[in-house]
């Protein structure tokens, strides 16, 4: 970890200085920026970060993304039918494009209502910035802390106890960077528009909710913006919370996301993280199984081409007995794409009868693509079942030949096999419009990203 004298932190500290520090979470924001200042950005020797090249982001001067100018229908291509929705442009709420759910507390963080203020005061940032989140060795997450300190807007959802939402809630984070971000040295932009989307979901006892977050760009060719989102889930006893995170940012975008879930007794948290876009992407996930019988399922898919980088860093903590966690992350890499999967499972001494399973599978479509997979199991209880498996492989040539021998062309056969690989994750999307969207994105990225399509 670098010292507070890190000169790259300066511009971010200035962003903080430039904002009003009021509101129900002022103290937490202050604390977060202090922690960030003390910790600084991760250095190249920081184990959790050494494989993520932050250079292009940190070399640029951050400027807050300008407020939401969204043309008529600009959000439409990204919205699903049969959803309640809240739309944000450059991190700011766009009420005209939104239709928040009824019967629950749902509001923009820039505009907390009376009851909302209490929800925020109690929960927002209470766990994300590292304090209550992890065991001793998990330090401050610098980008989560930055988000807490700097978010301007976001969503808070409070699901009352016993309430089951029938429709998913879609939260669309649309980036529409202004075109004048000038390129500086080494191709990195001299300035970069940054937004800090924030999501808080507090699920009451025995409640049920499904939240779909979509990160996208109004112009898919836009480049050089930086999204630094954080999401917190407080899952009450017996609640069932589903979270889908579709990352479809513009090709040149930087995305460093953090999500944190705390599960009470017998709560279930199902998360699905699907990464298609961006140049440099991180998804850091922390799940704390903090009540007996809590159960989390963490699935992910990353589909990368060109020189995209995506890192998924997982930390699952079993803190109580009879808790279960299942992770399934799959990657498809073409071109010179690179990926990192760091899966840490931490089983506390009290967490007997833990059942933890972690699987990471990578499919390399080109010679230059590179996938890293690092399972890390730390087990301090003796009566547990923990399994992990990781594979890095190539397309099955025998299967490809078999399909072609039946008359299916090279491109189609190739697509079928990649799809067959990925669908283990995408098929889990039970919400039909989402599943179809995922299939379409998968096919689009296969066709768009492939370079060596010669037949035999």
Partner 1 sequence: MLRVTDLHAKVEEQEILKGVDLEVGAGEVHAVMGPNGSGKSTLAQVLAGKEDYEITAGSLELDGEDLQEMAPEERAHAGLFLAFQYPVEIPGVGNSYFLKAAVNANRKARGEPELDAMDFLKLLRERATLVDVDEALLRRPVNDGFSGGEKKRNEILQMAVLEPRLAVLDETDSGLDIDALKTVAAGVNALRAENRAFVVITHYQRLLNYIVPDHVHVLLDGRIVRSGGSELAHELEEKGYGGFDGARAEA
CB atoms within 10 A of CB 447: 11
Query: Is 420 near partner 1 (CB under 8 A)?
Result: yes
Compute the distance between CA of residue 216 and CA of residue 222 in angstroms, rounded to an integer: 10
* Residues between 2 and 61 that touch partner 1 (CB under 8 A): none
Query: Is 428 near partner 1 (CB under 8 A)?
Result: no
Shortest distance in whole angstroms from residue 110 CB to partner 1: 44
Compute the distance between CA of residue 82 and CA of residue 18 in angstroms, rounded to an integer: 40
Q: In this structure, are residues 76 and 35 in contact, taking their beta carbons and an 8 Å threshold?
A: no
Q: Out of 190, 399, 440, 444, point to the residue binding partner 1 (CB under 8 A).
A: 399
Shortest distance in whole angstroms from residue 274 CB to partner 1: 17
Q: How far is CA 375 from CA 113, 265, 329, 389, 392, in A?
A: 43, 26, 12, 8, 13
Shortest distance in whole angstroms from residue 395 CB to partner 1: 11
Query: Is 404 near partner 1 (CB under 8 A)?
Result: yes
For 211, counting Cβ atoms within 10 Å of its Cβ (0-12 exposed, 13-18 middle, 19+ buried), the class is: buried
Q: In this structure, are residues 252 and 280 in contact, taking their beta carbons and an 8 Å threshold?
A: no
Shortest distance in whole angstroms from residue 362 CB to partner 1: 15
Please provide residue 155's backbone torsions phi and psi, each rounded to the nearest 5 degrees: -125, 135
Query: Is 160 near partner 1 (CB under 8 A)?
Result: no
Q: Out of 48, 131, 408, 435, point to the residue binding partner 1 (CB under 8 A).
A: 408
Query: Between residues 401 and 443, which has the closer beta carbon with respect to partner 1?
Result: 401
Per CB under 8 A, which region of 81-89, 161-169, 274-282, 399-407 contacts partner 1? 399-407
Shortest distance in whole angstroms from residue 396 CB to partner 1: 8
Shortest distance in whole angstroms from residue 68 CB to partner 1: 41
Q: Out of 161, 412, 440, 448, point to the residue binding partner 1 (CB under 8 A).
A: 412
Q: How far is CA 135 from CA 40, 101, 231, 315, 348, in A?
A: 20, 36, 19, 10, 9
- Contact letters (x/-) for partner 1, 342-381, by CB under 8 A? ----------------------------------------
How is 370-420 classified by DSSP, letter by letter? Answer: EEEEEEEEEE--SS-EEEEEEEEEE--HHHHHHHHHTT--HHHHHHHHHHH
- Residue indicated by tokens 């599960």: 263
Query: Between residues 20 and 455, which has the closer beta carbon with respect to partner 1?
Result: 455
CB atoms within 10 A of CB 177: 26
Binding interface with partner 1 (CB under 8 A): 396, 398-399, 401-410, 412-413, 416-417, 419-421, 423-424, 455-456
């Amino acid at each position: 970890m670098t010292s507070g004298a890190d000169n790259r932190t300066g511009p971010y500290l200035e962003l903080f200085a430039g904002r009003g520090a009021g509101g129900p979470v002022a103290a937490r924001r202050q604390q977060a920026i202090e922690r960030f200042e003390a910790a600084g950005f991760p250095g190249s020797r920081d184990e959790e970060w050494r494989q993520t090249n932050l250079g292009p982001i940190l070399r640029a001067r951050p400027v807050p993304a300008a407020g939401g100018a969204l043309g008529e229908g600009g959000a439409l291509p990204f919205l699903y039918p049969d959803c309640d929705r809240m739309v944000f442009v450059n991190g700011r709420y766009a009420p005209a494009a939104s239709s928040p759910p009824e019967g629950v507390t749902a509001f923009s963080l820039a505009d907390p209502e009376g009851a909302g203020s209490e929800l925020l005061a109690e929960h927002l940032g209470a766990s994300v910035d590292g304090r209550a989140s992890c065991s001793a060795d998990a330090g401050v997450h610098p980008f989560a802390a930055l988000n807490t300190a700097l978010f301007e807007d976001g969503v808070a959802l409070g699901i009352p106890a016993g309430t089951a939402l029938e429709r998913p809630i879609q939260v669309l984070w649309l980036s529409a960077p202004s075109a004048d971000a000038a390129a500086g040295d080494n191709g990195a932009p001299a300035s970069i528009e940054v937004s800090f989307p924030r999501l808080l979901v507090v699920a009451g006892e025995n409640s049920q909710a499904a939240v779909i977050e979509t990160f996208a760009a109004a112009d898919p060719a836009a480049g050089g913006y930086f999204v630094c989102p954080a999401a917190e889930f407080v899952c009450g006893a017996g609640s069932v919370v589903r979270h889908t995170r579709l990352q479809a940012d513009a090709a040149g975008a930087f995305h460093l996301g953090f999500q944190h879930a705390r599960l009470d007794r017998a709560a279930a948290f199902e998360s699905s993280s699907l990464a298609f876009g961006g140049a440099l992407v991180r998804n850091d996930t922390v799940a704390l199984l903090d009540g007996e019988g809590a159960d989390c399922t963490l699935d992910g898919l990353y589909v990368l081409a060109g020189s995209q980088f995506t890192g998924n860093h997982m930390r699952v903590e079993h803190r109580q007995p009879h808790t279960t966690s299942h992770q399934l992350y799959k990657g498809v890499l073409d071109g010179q794409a690179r990926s990192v999967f760091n899966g840490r499972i931490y089983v506390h001494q009290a967490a007997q009868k833990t059942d933890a399973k972690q699987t990471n599978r990578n499919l390399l479509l080109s010679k230059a693509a590179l996938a890293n997979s690092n399972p890390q199991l730390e087990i301090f209880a003796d009566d547990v079942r923990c399994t992990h498996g990781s594979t890095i492989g190539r397309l099955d040539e025998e299967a490809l030949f078999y399909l072609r021998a039946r008359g299916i062309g090279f491109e189609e056969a190739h697509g079928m096999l990649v799809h067959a690989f990925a669908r283990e994750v995408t098929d889990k999307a039970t919400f039909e419009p989402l599943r179809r969207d995922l299939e379409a994105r998968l096919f689009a990225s296969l066709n768009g990203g492939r370079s060596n399509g010669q037949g035999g």
